[in-house]
Structure 1
Amino acid sequence: MWKKFLELFIKKAWPVIRKLLVKYGKEILEFVFEKVTELFKNWIIGMGKEKKAKAEESYEKAKAATNPEEKKKFEFEYEFYKKEAESYKEKIKVMEEELEKLKETLREDINKKTTDLKAEDLFSTNSKDSYNPFVLKDTNNILKLEDKNDN
């Protein structure tokens, strides 16, 4: 009876379970990348704000300076920090593009590897236990996100 149930499970239920794994794998990936992108973006924006504040401070010091050497020094600092602040805007764009490329690669990987997943990859279907023919395999890469050849 268990053997028949197991065959039916693999034939009927497993395709649905596999589709759920693909769906939730993608949802988890989206969630993680959303949080990571937000973290990096906020960090870079904070760095940009810091440089902008230093630029404004140097600008005010340059305006207030009476010594030509000191004025020149603060004007140089102002230009330096202003360019630094602007560069952070560009860094955000580059970071977002790179994270999007990585996310797409991982999305394809998750889709392919979970689509190829077989019930036998997760369960020991030849269990001798007549009350529990499904024994979850003890594995570190249950979704086969690493190739079996990688050691």
Structure 2
Amino acid sequence: MEATQDRRREAILKEEVTFKVLVNNYKQCTLFRTPDPPLNDHERVAKEKAYQSALQNHNRAADATREQDEAYIQLLNDTISREREERLQDKQRRLLQAIQYVFEDQSARNERSENSDEPIAAGNDTQSIPAESSDSEVESDS
């Protein structure tokens, strides 16, 4: 892609150089007349047309380059937006999977606790400490 951009830049530079040469030639012919005999109407009209043609070609090339650059920038922006959207969707998918895993794990714990008489503490599979042992320790401390 950079090779294409480099070629495009080279073409633009060549076009600009050509344009500048034509402009300089035109200026020399019109502003800084030499002692050469003046141009007849036909030659002057031909040079004016050449100048106008070069100016139009330069403007078209500049417009085309600007349009290509804008299209390339739009393509980059679209690609960046699409990648951001994909990353966001991936994060949302992983979050939903994690939530689904937690709910499945919790429902499995609830089923086990309903099927057994032993209480299961939330957060791990260890048995909870009986309440009587903590009460007897409080009474013996006082």
The TM-score with structure 2 as length reference comes to 0.43
The TM-score with structure 1 as length reference comes to 0.41
Larger radius of gyration: 2
More helix by share: 2
Q: Which has the higher contact order (CA 8 A, sep 6+)?
A: 1
